[in-house]
Amino acid sequence: SQTIHQWPATLVQPVGSPLSLECTVEGTSNPNLYWYRQAAGRGLQLLFYSVGIGQISSEVPQNLSASRPQDRQFILSSKKLLLSDSGFYLCAWGGQQGSETQYFGPGTRLLVL
Amino acid sequence: GQNIDQPTEMTATEGAIVQINCTYQTSGFNGLFWYQQHAGEAPTFLSYNVLDGLEEKGRFSSFLSRSKGYSYLLLKELQMKDSASYLCAVRDSNYQLIWGAGTKLIIKP
């Protein structure tokens, strides 16, 4: 069966510091991978998605970036965090057809102070 | 623009039935999803509708009317553990999910 991991679970970072969140998927090959952010009381906002190694599509212009160095690894980064980057970051995977259900990792709660 | 509307919050009694509505306006339609999200946790998949009609899964059912841009999630025999947020999402013509803000369901004994 497929599993998806994210770490860390929680993170408190000062404004201006860098960020690296990691997501890995097991039990599937060549998945579509997604990074979402969820602010309190808001819907999920798609940040990035990837259909393959090195292929990243950005949905929202911001100070975040994403990379996919391996088939089942997806990394979300920032060089300098802003207060507005605080939120719940969720990684998800879905089938390559694009028509399949997305399944979420446990999430990382980020607080920027 | 694309828009998904759901009530912000609903309250129901343990053992009762509750219906959570979702209306949508999107550029294209390739299916509608319902997810459950407990506080502080990730969303978990509940149901998927792509054709009009009712899909039943145990205590949970989901209905879709594409012509009306409308769906509902029906929860029967409510249990305290059903207290959670319920997220409606529509897959658009680009096969991306557009998400509603979620409905917080409070179950009272």
Closest CA to A88 of A45, A27, A58: A45
Instruction: Tell me which chain B residues have a C-beta less than 8 angstroms from the C-beta of A41.
Output: 101
* Mean pLDDT computed over B7-13: 97
Q: Is B102 on the interface with A (CB under 8 A)?
A: yes
Band of pLDDT at residue A61, cut at 50, 70 and 90:
low
* Mean pLDDT computed over B33-61: 95
Confidence (pLDDT) at A40: 79
Confidence (pLDDT) at A42: 80
Tens-digit pLDDT profile for residues B88-106: 999 998 888 999 999 999 9
d(C-alpha A74, C-alpha A35), whole Å: 8
d(C-alpha A78, C-alpha A82), whole Å: 9
d(C-alpha A101, C-alpha B47), whole Å: 9
Judged against a pLDDT cut of 70, whether residue A97 lies above it is answered with: no
CA–CA distance from A27 to each of A31, A61, A78, A103 (Å)? 10, 32, 28, 13
Q: Is B41 on the interface with A (CB under 8 A)?
A: yes
